[in-house]
Amino acid sequence: MSNSQAITVGVVQGSLRRRRVDVAGTVFAAALLLSLLFTLAVLAILVGDQMTRGLPVLAERGTDFFSASLSSRPAQAGIAQGLIGTAMLTAMVALLAFPIGILTAIYLEEYAPNTGLTRFIAINIRNLAGVPSVVYGLLGLAVFVALFRALGVGTGRNILSGGLTLAVLVLPLVIITSAEAIRAVPNTIREAGYGIGASRWQVVRQLVLPSAVPGILTGTVLALARALGETAPLILAGAVLGSFSTGGSLGDLFGGPYTALPVIVYDWARKPQEEFRALTSAAILVLLAVTIIANGFAIFLRNRYDRRW
């Protein structure tokens, strides 16, 4: 080794030993950590406060709290009608938004040409995902409620209007998450399918979708969890703060007034009685439990399909 090479090696080694500390990066990472800890602390305080108020109600009422109907008397009020309404809305959102959203994502990622129109549509879908939920409630009031009223389905303020409103609300989220999951599939998988003579649909159905299923499931369930907690769109789209008739015919069930668990929470929180505030906390805990179960189910399915693939 010549003298110049030895000097160069020494300079490089010296610079590596005297590596400067990234002060700005360290400060930024510390600020992010403090923000995360502060957010978790606020969340823990809120959840702890609701558990302090709601757990005694659940322990005292037991299954009666889940099976009792709505009532103006706190000792007799329950969330049975809200659970039925939430389950029906969830089923409608899953049946309407998920197939349309996933098929739209498949078309945009696998079939649509890369033109200005396609990019314009994709940008607008992302913009729609950031629209406040109350705007979708106004859309449901102006379109779906008016449509069912014109068709003679009651007053139009029924569970069909609410389900369609929530489906439109989560549809952009389903499209975006599904498209991201499909885009994350390596192109080598597609090229391998085309190399053995498979058609585009065979490649999408047998290669692309199975590998994208974990991401699609996670995104769709997260979108569904958002729909479970929405209140403003349901109120504007006809959800009532009173009762939900579940014992009549199908026409009464789908064409009459309805309610849901978030609407019940909103209604009870407005009442002045201290007993209803405790019931509100108990209903919030039930809504949190339903959301956590849905997310846990999504994680289970994602891990299962990931291992299978």
User: Greatest CA span in the chain, whole angstroms?
Assistant: 96
Given a cut of 90, whether residue 81 has pLDDT beyond it is no
32, 150: one domain? no
Neighbours of 204 (CB within 10 A): 20
Round to whole Å and give the CA distance between 178 and 204.
13
56, 76: one domain? no
Of 43, 61, 79, which residue sits at a domain end?
Answer: 61
46, 141: one domain? no
**Total number of domains in the chain:** 2
Q: Classify residue 240 as exposed, middle or buried by CB count within 10 Å of its CB (0-12, 13-18, 19+).
A: middle
Of 61, 84, 111, which residue sits at a domain end?
Answer: 61
- The rounded mean pLDDT for the chain is 82
Instruction: Judge contact between 160 and 254, C-beta under 8 A.
Output: yes
165, 190: one domain? yes
Q: Is residue 6 part of a domain?
A: no
139, 67: one domain? yes
Q: Which residues contact 166 (CB under 8 A, 6 or more apart)?
A: 89, 92, 93, 97, 136, 227, 230, 233, 234
Q: How far is CA 271 from CA 49, 118, 234, 284, in A?
A: 19, 49, 19, 15
Q: Is residue 164 part of a domain?
A: yes
29, 139: one domain? no
Round to whole Å and give the CA distance between 87 and 281.
20
pLDDT digits (tens, 9 = 90+) for 158-177: 888 888 888 999 999 999 99
34, 110: one domain? no
Given a cut of 90, whether residue 37 has pLDDT beyond it is yes
172, 264: one domain? yes
Q: Is residue 122 part of a domain?
A: yes
Q: Is residue 4 part of a domain?
A: no
pLDDT digits (tens, 9 = 90+) for 206-230: 888 888 888 888 888 888 888 888 8
Q: Which residues contact 152 (CB under 8 A, 6 or more apart)?
A: none
pLDDT digits (tens, 9 = 90+) for 226-273: 888 887 788 777 665 555 555 556 666 676 777 888 888 888 888 888
Average confidence (pLDDT) over 92-104: 91
Domain extent, residue 126, equals: 63-308
Average confidence (pLDDT) over 91-99: 90
52, 145: one domain? no
Per the listing, tokens 């197939």 go with 99
Q: Strands, DSSP E only, in the chain?
A: none
138, 114: one domain? yes
Q: Is residue 14 part of a domain?
A: no
Q: Is residue 128 part of a domain?
A: yes
pLDDT score recorded for residue 258: 79
- Extract the tokens encoding 19: 């590596």
164, 178: one domain? yes
Q: Is residue 73 part of a domain?
A: yes
Q: Is residue 10 part of a domain?
A: no
